[in-house]
Amino acid sequence: MQRQVQTRCGYRFKDLSLLDQALTHPSFAAEQTPAPPDNQRMEFLGDSVLQLILSDLLFASLPDDKEGTLTRLRATLANEPATASYAQKLGLQEAILLGKGEEQTGGRERQSILGDLFEAFLAAVYLDGGMDAARSICQRLLPPLADRKRQLLAKDNPKGALQELCQDRFKCKPKYHVLSAEGPVHAPHFVVNVSVNDVVMGQGSGSSHRIAERQAATQALLKFLQDDGAAQD
């Protein structure tokens, strides 16, 4: 199993005991006599290593963004669902050593366990090969940072995020078109679509132009991101 983990992550450990410890859940260690070192302390270190790597990558990759945006992006890339997904990409859930109770109750798929597992694994890589090795692991796992930024902005300012994407990729601005405006004055209903280079990319509806345009922009952004994901696959 050690060999499989190393192959998946693209890193060869010099000290395999560090990998063993990272893969040892406290529930497994508690059932052994004598108890081997578990991965709790390594989680603590790995969390800090991940935060530093993400801070450095975001700072370098998004030079025009303010602290608030960078902080929120870092949080989405270091939260439990994110770290659990990194563990799964590396197949660490297949290698973790769990106690009988955790094994029987689905611990191998539990986000909290997998998130901690990735942090412990990253700490093991850092201790064995230094920051450059840990950074290399993260860079292979992370989604494109610009896309993650657009996903974040899509919730707050989808029109602004779509305009930025269109200017970056196509050197144009998205165009919004009112398809219908119906209903009484006190309860209007608008339907709007948005096109990029004369191709309709999204449609939205709502009680105002603004709401309808936000929905259309959000739909367009999601389509772009889905297309990007399909292209990468």
User: Which residues have a catalytic role annotated?
Assistant: 47, 119
| CA dist., res. 151 & res. 158, Å (int) | 9
DSSP state at residue 228? H
Taking the alpha carbons at both ends of the chain, their separation in whole angstroms is 26
Q: Are 185 and 195 in contact (CB under 8 A)?
A: no
Q: Are 131 and 37 in contact (CB under 8 A)?
A: no
Is 107:25 a contact under the CB 8 Å cutoff? yes
- What contacts 48, CB < 8 A, 6 or more positions away? none
* CA–CA distance, 179 with 220 (Å, rounded to integer): 16
Tokens in use for 208? Answer: 């105002």
